[in-house]
């Protein structure tokens, strides 16, 4: 009796054909249902769960596609395969076909980033480099196209395999998009939301060509070299003061560096003097009319203090050598200590030639009425 039951059980299993797939990895995108010689019986059961699509491939050609549900496979629900096989009156014997289960749920929090810096051209700073990274989400929107164009004969196509392709596509389109945006360099980091939406619109057609929908695209960070950041911050502060010419800013920085030279040469002093003059000229460029007048009933804006007075620097000759530059007070001390006298030659910015101290108008105050007599021979 037990032997008879076992035979009946075995025979019943041979005539019951169930095609289904359970995903336990959450990383598999496409799984090929493996059967001996890919044979499928008439009236076999096909079970497609939510978040899945079943794709039938016949001898390399896309046939029928099934969404979520339970199906009894026959000529009525296999119209394309019936045409390909030439079944005019149905079929009784098993047929061969490959069945691919496609995972259509949303794949989230996928990472992307620029492996190499992206080169951009900025009107003020010239060629600059930026890097960017973020996340994206996608789903398979056209399982048939995806299996034919991307998966091919891969029996277990994973998330990792498609991500390498998608990351390269994202970086390429991101580079094109930021280049065409032609924004000031500092605005890329400040407008990541708007830039993300624009990139998603540009990338979606590329994803759609292989049956993928780019559900979300995020730029989390846009970075640039620290030296460029500092220059942008300094320029932005100057821009608030109506100094709109970056070339003038760079010239002032160069003069400042020259003025810090401790060599004590005439060239260093000239650099300092020119730096002060240029700084004063740049200060005069500020438009005094830029301060808006208050409306009736409003308090006047806070007063802006005038720029610090520029201290004149002097060079002087002593013991046949050029010395300086020194400020007015220091020159007065040198006169009092008899390092220089009324006949010593001095020079300052704006003078054409070296001139005796006694002939310089603002230095005549050194002479007073207490000029010491000449040293005895």
For residue 349, give the CATH number of its domain.
Answer: 3.30.1490
Query: Do 122 and 192 belong to one domain?
Result: yes
Are residue 71 and residue 154 in the same domain, yes or no? no
Does residue 336 lie in a domain region? yes
User: With bands split at pLDDT 50, 70 and 90, how would you rate the model's confidence at 291?
Assistant: very low
Q: What is the pTM of this model?
A: 0.54
The CATH number of the domain holding residue 111 is: 3.30.479.30
Distance CA 62, CA 210 (A): 14
Cα–Cα–Cα angle for 106, 110, 112, rounded to 5 degrees: 145
Q: Is residue 268 part of a domain?
A: no
Ranking 114-118, 229-233, 318-322, 328-332 by mean pLDDT, the lowest is 229-233
CA-nearest of 99, 89, 39 to 64 is: 99
Last residue of a domain, which of 103, 131, 153?
103
75 plus 29 within the same structural domain:
yes
Same domain, 111 and 223: yes
Pull the structure tokens for residue 160: 């990792």
Backbone angles phi, psi at 287, to 5 degrees: -80, 115
Condensed to tens digits (0 to 9), the pLDDT of residues 238-279 reads 555 554 555 666 677 777 777 766 544 444 444 445 444 544
Residue 158 β-bridge partners: 28
Three-class secondary structure of residue 147 per DSSP: helix
Q: Are residues 219 and 115 in the same domain?
A: yes
Show which of 69, 103, 137 is a domain's final residue.
103
The pair phi, psi for residue 39, each rounded to 5°, is -85, 135
Query: Does residue 252 sit within a domain?
Result: no
Domain housing 156: 107-227
Q: 88 lies in a domain? A: yes
CA distance linking residue 213 with residue 215, whole number of Å: 6
Torsion of CA 172, 177, 179, 185, to 10 degrees: -120
List Cβ<8 Å contacts ≥24 apart for 59-66.
59/84, 62/144, 62/147, 62/148, 63/97, 65/143, 65/144
In angstroms, the first-to-last Cα distance of the chain is 148
pLDDT tens per residue, range 126-168? 888 888 999 999 999 999 999 998 888 788 888 888 888 888 8
Q: In 3-state terms, what secondary structure has residue 90?
A: coil
| Domain match, 87 and 186 both | no
Residue 244: predicted pLDDT: 52
19/65 same-domain check: yes
Lowest mean pLDDT, pick from 130-144, 182-196, 277-291: 277-291
Domain presence at residue 290: no
Rounded Cα distance between 239 and 218, Å, is: 31
Structure tokens at 75: 């000529």
Label residue 126 exposed, middle or buried (CB < 10 Å: 0-12, 13-18, 19+). exposed
User: Where a domain ends, among 198, 227, 256?
Assistant: 227
Asked if residue 114 and residue 97 are part of one domain, the reply reads no
Tell which residue, 96, 130, 105, has the closest CA to residue 28. Answer: 105
Residue 288 covered by a domain: no
pLDDT for 52 equals 93
Q: What is the pLDDT of residue 236?
A: 62
222 compared with 233, residue with greater pLDDT? 222
Q: Looking at the 3D structure of the chain, how many domains does it have? A: 3
For residue 148, tell me if it sits in a domain. Answer: yes
CB 159, CB 103: distance < 8 Å: no
Q: Are residues 124 and 68 in the same domain?
A: no
- Cα 314 to Cα 165, 275, 325, 327, 352: the distances in Å are 69, 15, 5, 6, 13
Q: What is the pLDDT of residues 60-77, one digit of tens each?
A: 889 999 999 999 888 777
pLDDT of 15: 45
Q: If you average pLDDT over every residue of the chain, what do you get?
A: 78
> Do 138 and 124 fall into the same domain?
yes
Residue 272 belongs to some domain of the structure: no
Calpha distance 140→270 (Å, rounded): 70
Q: Tell me the C-alpha distance between 42 and 38, whole Å.
A: 13
* Judgement on whether residues 62 and 130 belong to the same structural domain of the protein: no
Q: Are residues 209 and 134 in the same domain?
A: yes
- Rg for the chain, CA atoms, rounded: 42
Helix (H) or strand (E) holding 239: helix 226-240
Mean pLDDT of 16-21: 81
């Amino acid at each position: 009796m037990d032997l008879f039951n076992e035979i009946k059980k075995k025979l019943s299993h041979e005539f019951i054909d169930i095609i289904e797939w359970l995903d336990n990895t959450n990383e598999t995108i496409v799984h090929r249902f493996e059967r001996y010689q890919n044979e499928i019986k008439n009236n076999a059961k096909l079970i497609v769960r939510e978040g899945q699509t079943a794709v039938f491939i016949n001898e390399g050609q896309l046939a029928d596609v099934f969404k979520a549900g339970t199906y009894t496979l026959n000529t009525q629900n296999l119209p394309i395969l019936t045409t390909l096989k030439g079944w005019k009156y149905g079929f009784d014997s098993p047929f061969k076909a490959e069945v691919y289960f496609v995972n259509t749920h949303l794949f989230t929090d996928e990472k992307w980033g620029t492996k190499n810096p992206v080169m951009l051209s900025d009107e003020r700073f010239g060629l600059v480099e930026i890097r960017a990274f973020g996340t994206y989400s996608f789903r398979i929107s056209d399982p048939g196209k995806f299996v034919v164009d991307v998966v091919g004969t891969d029996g277990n196509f994973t998330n990792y395999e498609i991500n390498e392709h998608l990351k390269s596509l994202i970086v390429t389109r991101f580079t094109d998009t930021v280049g065409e945006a032609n924004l000031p360099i500092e605005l890329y980091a400040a407008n990541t939301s708007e830039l993300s939406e624009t990139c998603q619109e540009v990338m979606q057609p590329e994803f759609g060509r292989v049956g993928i929908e780019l559900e979300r695209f995020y730029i989390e960070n846009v970075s640039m070299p620290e030296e460029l950041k500092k220059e942008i911050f300094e320029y932005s502060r100057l821009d608030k003061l109506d100094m709109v010419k970056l070339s003038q800013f760079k010239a002032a920085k160069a003069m400042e560096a020259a003025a810090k030279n401790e060599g004590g040469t005439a060239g260093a002093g000239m650099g300092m003097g020119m730096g002060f003059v240029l700084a004063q000229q740049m200060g005069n460029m500020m438009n005094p009319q830029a301060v808006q007048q208050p409306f009736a009933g409003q308090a006047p804006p806070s007063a802006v203090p005038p720029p610090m007075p520029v201290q004149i620097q002097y060079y002087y000759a002593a013991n046949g050598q050029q010395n300086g530059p020194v400020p007015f007070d220091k020159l007065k001390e040198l006169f009092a200590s008899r390092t220089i006298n009324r006949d010593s030659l001095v020079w300052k910015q704006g003078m054409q030639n070296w001139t005796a101290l006694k002939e310089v108008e603002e230095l005549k105050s050194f002479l007073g009425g207490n000029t010491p007599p000449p040293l005895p021979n």
